[in-house]
Structure 1
Amino acid sequence: MKNIHLIANAHLDPVWLWRWQEGCSEALSTFRTAEELTREFEGFVFNHNEAILYEWVKENSIGLFQKLQTAVQEGRWNIMGGWYLQPDCNMPSGESIVRNIERGRRFFQEYFNARPTTAINFDSFGHSRGLVQILTKAGYDSYIVCRPAKNGFPFEEQDFEWVGLEGSKIIVHRSDENYNSVWGQAAKELTEFLPDKEAEEVTLYLWGVGDHGGGPSRKDLQDLKELAKDNSSYNLIHSTPEAYFKERTARPMELPRVADGLNPVAEGCYTSQIRVKQKHRELENELYTAEKMAAAASLQFGRSYPDKELKEAEHALIFSEFHDALPGSGSPFVETDTLRLLDYGLELMSRVKHSAALALASGEERVKEGSSVILFYNPHPFDITGVFTCETGLPKQNWTTDFMYPKVVFDGEEIPAQAEKESSNFNLDWRKKIAVQATLKAGQMNRMDVYFKPLPKRPVFSEIVSSEEYVFDNGEMKVVIDTTTGLLKEYSKNGICYLTKESFQLACYDDTHNPWGLGKKESHSRRNFQLLTSHEAAEYCGLSEKVIPAVRVIEDGDVRTTVEAVFGLHDSKAYIRYQLPKKGSGFDVEIGVNFQEKEKYLKAVLKTPEENESFSGQIMFGREELKKGKETVSQKWIMAKDKNIDKALAVINNGTYGASYTGCELGVTLLRSAGYTSSDFIMGKALQEEQWAPRMEQGERFYRFRIQGGSVEETEQRIDGEAAAFNEEPYGFSYCPPEEGERAAQFITIDNPQVIISAIKRAHNFKGYILRIYESTGKDTEAKIRLLDGRIDQNVFLKGFEVKTYKIDLEESCLTEIGLIEEYQ
């Protein structure tokens, strides 16, 4: 007879329609009841995952926790999945997913001696193809998902082979019955489910009350017992995911093959609650930069490694990645709590970074008479050329009406520099925001001495609206801004056009109130933000006593020109700043939006001269082709490219994930003003109560992008490194060095731009440090890695998209490859 593996579970969201405190309380109740039922019903096995819930039990009911340990030892309770929690499986970086698995793995090994081999993410809204390599290298041989649902696949089978970017493979079970059963209905739902699965030689069935916990009930268990007794067609087995896959793989049959990401699912989740997404990216960037700097300070100067702070920040990051927090499908309370937690992690990392920076500034000469000092630490293994800014104070307060203009000396030579509007509005010429054009050396501190000369007044800039267009040309690139619309009219590099007229149009579309959805099928209306009048521009900028052009130059000098344009739509306002460097072939764009529309989504639309043949984006430890004409999800960059004409346009972001490419329009999705957890369900249409109800993204939101055109090969090879440098910015600060000790040597360099550092940090399971790298382009490659000014100098080989982790062995002066996941020891 056919075996039906009954996998009893209680999907328990730590947060969703409720806050974490209620999730904690429900975990205690669910686990207590489930443990009792495993003793009451012989042969019954309960499955549960997510280490965070077990941590809450351990902290609040040690007696129950000990009962769980006994139940696991006796086989009544199965540790399922083994991750810290079920995250979103598209937006976190590959490194973040590794940390999630590591944190869960160490907990379950330490307290339960358990190491699951089937990973589960029942409720995540799609799954990045980069997961396959992570799962296989973490020791998993199987994976259970519920999304995309059956209609998202071209085959009926629930089991399929999923192929990773670099060729790794894992068997996946798509549970068509989903992960929940209604209380008291498990046997009935099973009876209705099985006829559709008669062709399966063995079947897996998830059941148990979920979302808010609950799990099995006595009625369900009794009903299943009666069903098993009265049935002669199949065996009902209280089981585990591992037992199902053991039987499944022992019955070989050809499986459907999937070599793509398991997307899209709930496309609105790529943008909903954008502040959470932006701050999540910021903490990812700050945590991984702080680890690099702390490792450098420890290895080079013996500075104590801040384990506690880094672990706390890592916990904040992982919790924020929960699949109803990061996707923006939680309540307003969840948004508030997640932002607060991310801010906590960011505060910790600000302290860690500055402490490390002070150590890494050791040995710098004292400040020279009449100057100030700014320092930039480049944490990356490659030199970075571009525009960098830092605020500092004058050597002496300026009590005159003169405006002090900077001259910057770097490595004994004067470099392009300019003063820009500082962050404060204290009307005394004292604080200085300095922008420089420089090349920061890899893996080390870069010192700049700043001198000042007096000017009669702060510089002002010529108006540009007397002509229909403003043309910026630095010899490498040409940018044309239409002064009648405020939009970009042309972006060319070496005479080749990459963007054309009406680029950066802010376009507002009708949207659903549902945070999981995107757009309304019955309406495709689009309303564009329009350039403000001079009076409206002055009012928006807070200049009630002036009239100013809506398009104007706000910064200019030897480093860059910044053009600002201001726009409006109904009660919403926005500004766009085009930051155009005097050297280089790419430029930055800053967008600020004060959004007041409801149930709308907003895109920044870029227009390519022709429809490029393909559209791609960064995913976990790699990249993949994205579907044109659809809303897609990716990480730090997207790219429209065409090999036939050898053109690629890359858009790097610092915290957006949703985008589309339709025809010649590349649309970056900035925000959605949907309702919180709003879903038309059993009781009818949501948000119909006659009272005020909050919508997402009401207020100010800010974005930064880097635009880079080039040949396909050049852009593809360098885009991941450029995106890493844009996101994990060099750490700039003002300081008067004490001239103590020796200067830091170069910490790390890698001579191949295809090879990206994922992490440098202290190891958990041995004394010392690890280095994790990956190949970013999909091509086999070799790279030379130099650590600690050549103390380690070693060539490494990576297959396309391969991730490798190394122990930094200082005794043997070498890198030794180790496993992806640091196990508990």
Structure 2
Amino acid sequence: MKRVHLICNAHLDPVWLWRWQEGCTEALSTFRTAEAFTEEFPDFVFNHNEAILYEWVKENEPELFVRIQQKVKEGKWHIMGGWYLQPDCNMPNGESIIRNISEGHRFFEKEFGVRPTTAINFDSFGHSVGLVQILNQAGYDTYVVCRPAKAQFPFREQDYLWKGLAGSEVLVHRSDENYNSVYGHVGKELEQFLEDTKDEPVSLYLWGVGDHGGGPSRVDLTDVTKLIKERAEELEIIHSNPEAYFKERKAAKTAYPVVEKSLNPVAEGCYTSQVRVKQKHRLLENEILVGEKMATQAELLYGTKYPKEEIHEAVRALLFSEFHDALPGSGTQQVEEDTLRLLDHGLELMSRVNCRSAIALTAGEAPIKEGSSCAFLYNPHPYPITGQFAFEVGLPKQNWDPCFYHPRASVNGEEVPTQSEMECSHFCIDWRKRVVVEATLKPCAMNRVDVWFDAIEKRPTFERISRKENFVFDNGKMRIEINPRTGLVDSWKVGDTEYLKPGSFCPVAIDGTYNSWGLWKNEPGARRAFTLLTDHEGSEFSGLYEQIEPSVRVIEDGKVRTVVEALFGWHNSKLYQRYILPKNDTHMDVEIGVYWNENDTVLKWMIPSAMEQGTYYGQVMFGREALAQEGQEVVAQRWNAWTDGEKTFTAVNGGSYGSSIEDGVIGLTLLHSAGYSAADFDEKKTLHEVRHTVRMEQGERKFAFRFEAGKADLLDNVDRTAQAYNEEPYVLALNASGAGEKKAPAILVDQANVLVSAWKKAENGEGYTLRLYESTGKDTTAVVELPFAGVACPVSLKGFEIKTLHYDEQTKQLAEADLLD
């Protein structure tokens, strides 16, 4: 006899069209109602996930929480999923997803003594293929989703085998009936479901009023109870849970369709909407990862207490911001502001944690040298970083003389190329100094920078390039041409190989949509390129009222790098682009500042490469994936790369997730000025009121990227490049006390393709967690050293495999551990 597993739930967005306070009160109401129905209807079982909602119940109605604990013991209430909340499943890095699962597991194990084996993300807008390995290592073998819908699959079956990285796989149920039911309509909807799935030997049916909670109603439970009795001779319809459904499915040993890629695309507009949230989320991710490494080293080497509570609170702020209507930008303007405020809370916590740790890590450093200034750069990674590093210090004393003090610096006692650039302040005294050095930073260590100053006649000025045919930058490793008439890059050569076509790095406005989740028009006629401002327009935009300056100009130059600025405009918007060209490297950084005042319009950045055929890759959780390249909007994490097997062009970002490529033209999506929580639904239009309606992204937005061109082996190093660019060295201007002694580095890893994703206090407070992953898809054995403890441990990893190690400081043992250690 066919069995149908009824999974009653109440999908409840903590935030979306409402703020978290309303999400909290709705959780109280929904849980109160569902608990009462478990008494009124003897066979009824309620399912719910998301620890954050249970925490709100525990804090605000503890008596109800106790009753729910009892119902879980009785089997009338099922803890489903077991995560902290349902996040976006594309943009958070793998560490964030692990923390989400860990936070939920610890809560549910402590309060209910349960650990689910079926993961639940009903409403997330797609799912990264990197998630599969995380699920396996966290104890999950099954997964329930609603997106992508069946129209995006070449098969109709709702159950399929999803294969991920490093040999991982989970059995997925795609709920085609979605996760919600209409109040009072469950009986009719279930009848239709039974007809649609009559050929299935066993079925799973999600029901319950959702989005704003609600769950079961008395009328729906009454209708379902009646239907169960009426169909009893032909069907066994039972109130159930996801684990019971999958147990029955697996026992049948059915052959399933196989999917071996990310479950994307879904709601592609959400890869870009509310970009401030995305950028600040990335920043907090980076600050937590760097801060944990610093705090771990400070405790292990110098006895500074690990600030577990502060870091934990910052992590929880990060996790809430990753909710699938917060990070994707589909919430209201109030939700956007609340999320930014929460992220700022986490960043403030980490700023205090990181400062304390950094000061502790300067133990053994001599006090400042007479007549100099001093800064310390902490490299959080177990490998040296060579590059250009900028920081600010003050002069030893204010300069009131008619001259300009120019810096020269040494790093770890060795003099290095140095230049001065425009400082952050515009104060009238020559006092603050922005110093840029070219140096190699020692791994997992404080790197000391001593700065001296030489008096020169005045602040440096730079050559005019507007009258040149092309501005050519050639450092012997790469040659870049910038067109003074367009402000765009016309050529980028490494050696004799050309990587770009003329007109690269062009900002383009594309006719968009007010739909927060939606896409924009891809037709050529829907695109208008920004153009270079006239000299008069550019000078006015720059606030230069006493002279007219060219809109393409060198604004910084010295021994370390050259910076070229270009000013553009279109319609009601303007922007600046700064090409940052190092004197001894093959990469280029670009900073963009946009002053945006457009409705329903997308800003993309077009880069026509010299390679018209190839493979477009993007970073996913603990790995990489080949992405679509017919102009579709795709999502990736810290980097994208375009390669034809011989040549490679990489783009590392500081918090931009959406992009596309077509015929070798890369389009990096910067912003999307849609309406807030605006969508079409069943021909009902939003934004139809005759009034001014605020769109997203109005005002100033900033973006940062690092580009590199070279041979195919650039792909072997792009993950390390992206890690060092995002988790950048921590900078502290400090006159060290001279107390204490220097210690050996905390950790070293000898293989460039094996990265440390986390180095932190273990979740139970005993020992430390060290997490590694292989980043290129190649089986590797790496030696992990803890020099301060005299420990060296070989670790074998399959391609893209995650390995979690536990370090016991008492026994000085480093051993494999559970992912959620």
- TM-score relative to the length of structure 1: 0.98
CA deviation map 1:143-175 (0-9, x unaligned) = 000000010110010000000111111100000
Q: Write the distance in 1 (CA, Å) between the matches of 2:124 and 2:344.
A: 24
Q: Distance in 1 between matches of 2:784 and 2:496?
A: 37
Give the distance between the partners of 1:676 and 1:522, measured in 2 at CA. Answer: 25
Q: What's the counterpart of residue 338 of structure 1?
A: 339
Map of 1:472 onto structure 2: 473
Match of 1:705 in 2: 705
Give the aligned partner of residue 262 of structure 1. Answer: 263
Q: In structure 1, how many angstroms separate the alpha carbons of the residues matched to 2:385 and 2:789?
A: 20
1:601 partner letter: V
CA contact (8 A) 2:600 2:674 kept: yes
Look up the equivalent residue of 1:493 and give its one-letter code.
V
Say whether residues 1:651 and 2:677 are aligned partners. Answer: no
User: What is the CA RMSD across the aligned residues, in angstroms?
Assistant: 1.1
CA distance in structure 1 between the partners assigned to 2:513 and 2:81 by the alignment: 34
State the one-letter code of the partner of 2:816: E
Between the aligned partners of 1:740 and 1:526, the Cα distance in structure 2 is 61
Distance 1:797 1:639 in 2: 27
Counterpart of 1:721?
720
Cα deviation digits, residues 561-608 of structure 1 (max 9, x gap): 000000000110000000000101111000110111110111111111
Matching residue's letter, 1:642: D
Greater mean alpha carbon deviation, residues 737-746 or residues 240-249:
737-746
How many corresponding residue pairs?
Answer: 819
Maintained 8 Å contact 1:360/1:744: no
User: What amino acid sits opposite 1:237 in the alignment?
Assistant: I
User: In the alignment, what sits opposite 2:274?
Assistant: 273
The alpha carbon displacement at 1:681 in A equals 2.4
3-state SS of 2:430 partner: coil
- CA distance in structure 2 between the partners assigned to 1:732 and 1:790 by the alignment: 26
Aligned-partner residue type, residue 667 of structure 1: G
Partner residue in 1 for 2:244: 243
Once residues 602 and 171 of structure 2 are traced to their aligned partners in structure 1, the CA distance between those partners, rounded to angstroms, is 37
Aligned to 1:751: 750
| TM-fit CA distance, 1:612 | 3.2
- Deviation string 1:350-396 (CA, Å, 9 cap, x unpaired) is 11111100000111111111111111000001100000011000011
1:293 — aligned with what? 294
Asked whether the equivalents of residues 376 and 449 of structure 2 are also in contact (C-alpha less than 8 Å), the reply is: yes
User: Which letter does structure 2 place at the counterpart of 1:293?
Assistant: M
Distance 2:72 2:787 in 1: 46
Task: State the match for 1:531 in structure 2.
Answer: 532
* 1:224 corresponds to 2:224: yes
Q: Is the 8 A contact 1:445 1:744 kept in 2?
A: no
- Secondary structure of the 2:640 match is strand
SS in 1 for 2:440: strand
Taking the aligned partners of 1:613 and 1:664, their CA distance within structure 2 comes to 8
Q: Which residue of 1 aligns with 2:39?
A: 39
Equivalent runs, 1:406-417 vs 2, <5 Å: 406-417=407-418
Residue identity opposite 1:810 in structure 2? E
Whether 2:552 is the aligned partner of 1:543: answer: no
8 A Cα contact 2:743 2:788, kept in partner: no
Report the AA paired with residue 328 of structure 2.
Answer: P
Aligned to 2:812: 813
Is 1:632 the counterpart of 2:634? The answer is yes
Q: Distance in 2 between matches of 1:266 and 1:524?
A: 23
Of 361-370 and 12-21, deviating more is 361-370
In the superposition, relative to structure 1, how do residues 494 and 522 fare at CA in structure 2: closer, same or farther (>3 Å)? closer
Shift of 1:464: 0.3
1:211 and 2:218 correspond: no
SS across alignment from 1:639:
strand
CA contact under 8 A between 1:391 and 1:733: conserved in structure 2? no
Report SS of the residue matched to 1:370.
coil
Q: How far 1:698 moved relative to its partner?
A: 0.6
Q: Alpha-carbon deviation of 1:545?
A: 2.0
Secondary structure, aligned partner of 1:396 = strand
Distance 2:667 2:402 in 1: 46
For 1:171, the equivalent position in structure 2 comes to 171
Correspondence 1:259-658 to 2 at 5 A = 259-520=260-521, 524-629=525-630, 630-643=632-645, 646-658=646-658
Work out whether residues 789 and 812 of structure 2, in 8 Å CA contact, stay in contact via their aligned partners in 1: no
641 and 790 in structure 1: CA distance in 2 versus 1, 3 angstrom threshold: farther
Preserved contact between residue 598 and residue 674 of structure 1 (Cα < 8 Å): yes
Corresponding residue for residue 51 of structure 2: 51
Choose 488-497 or 628-637, whichever is displaced more: 488-497
* Residue in structure 2 matched with residue 106 of structure 1 by the alignment: 106
- Is the aligned partner of 1:69 residue 2:75? no
Structure 2: segments with no counterpart, 5+ residues: none
- Give CA-to-partner distance per residue, 1:430-452, whole Å, 9 cap, x none: 00000000000111010011000
Partners of 1:238 and 1:29 lie apart in 2 by 22
- Once the two structures are superposed, residues 470-498 of structure 1 have per-residue CA deviations (whole angstroms, 9 ceiling, x without a partner) of 00000001111001000011111122111
Kindly report which structure 2 residues correspond to 1:99-178, keeping only aligned pairs within 5 A, or say none. 99-178=99-178
Q: Following the alignment from structure 1 to structure 2, what is the Cα–Cα distance between the partners of residues 565 and 350?
A: 33
Letter in 2 for 1:383: P
Question: How far did residue 789 of structure 1 move?
Answer: 3.7
- 1:101 Cα offset (Å): 0.2
Question: 1:520: Cα distance to partner?
Answer: 3.6
Displaced runs of 4 or more, over 6 A: none
Q: Give a deviation string over 1:658-701, Cα, whole Å, max 9, x none.
A: 01011121010000000001112257221110111110001111
* d(CA) in 2 for partners of 1:459, 1:659: 38
* Structure 2: distance between partners of 1:663 and 1:677: 33
* 1:718 match: secondary structure: helix
**Secondary structure, counterpart of 1:707 in structure 2:** strand
Matched position secondary structure for 2:392: strand
Structure-2 separation of matches of 1:522 and 1:471: 34
CA contact (8 A) 2:301 2:788 kept: no
Q: Is the 8 A contact 1:510 1:523 kept in 2?
A: no
Match of 1:802 in 2: 801
What runs of 5+ residues in structure 1 fail to find an aligned partner? none
- CA offset at residue 411 of structure 1? 3.2
Please say if residues 287 and 350 of structure 2, whose CA atoms lie closer than 8 Å, have aligned partners that are also in contact: yes
Q: State the TM-score, normalized to the length of structure 2.
A: 0.99
C-alpha separation between the residues in 2 aligned to 1:313 and 1:741? Answer: 30
Q: 2 CA distance for matches of 1:660 and 1:100?
A: 29
Q: Secondary structure at the match of 2:340?
A: helix
Q: Distance in 1 between matches of 2:62 and 2:754?
A: 46
For 1:681 and 1:256, the matched residues in 2 are separated by 31
Q: 1:522: Cα distance to partner?
A: 8.1
Q: Distance in 1 between matches of 2:53 and 2:412?
A: 54
Letter matched to residue 261 of structure 2: D
Instruction: Measure how far apart 1:230 and its partner are.
Output: 1.2
Q: Provide the C-alpha distance between the structure 2 equivalents of 1:415 and 1:789, rounded to a whole number of angstroms.
A: 28
Q: 1:356 to 1:521 in 2, by over 3 A?
A: closer
* 2:566/2:576 contact within 8 Å kept: yes
| Corresponding residue SS for 2:165 | coil
The one-character-per-residue Cα deviations of 1:705-745 (angstroms, maximum 9, x if unpaired) are 00111221x21211101100000000112111110010132
1:410 CA drift (Å): 2.2
Residues 201/751 of structure 1: CA separation in 2 closer, same or farther (3 Å cut): same
Q: Does the CA contact (< 8 Å) of 2:513 and 2:674 recur in 1?
A: yes
Q: Does 1:785 align with 2:787?
A: no
8 Å contact from structure 2 (residues 611, 644) kept in 1: no
AA aligned to 2:391 is C
Equivalent-residue separation in structure 2 for 1:234 and 1:503 (angstroms): 63
Residue identity in the other structure for 2:780:
T
> Structure 1's 716 and 522: CA in aligned 2 closer, same or farther, altered over 3 A?
closer
Instruction: Determine helix, strand or coil for the equivalent of 1:394.
Output: strand
Q: Which amino acid aligns with 1:195?
A: E
- State how far apart, in whole Å, the 1-side matches of 2:789 and 2:302 are: 16
Q: Once the two structures are superposed, what CA deviation does each residue of 1:537-574 show, in whole Å capped at 9, x if it has no partner?
A: 11111112221100000000000000000000011000
In structure 2, the partner of 1:193 is 193
CA contact (8 A) 2:492 2:500 kept: yes
Tell me how far apart the structure 2 counterparts of residues 648 and 521 of structure 1 sit (CA, whole Å): 26
185-194 or 311-320, which deviates more: 185-194
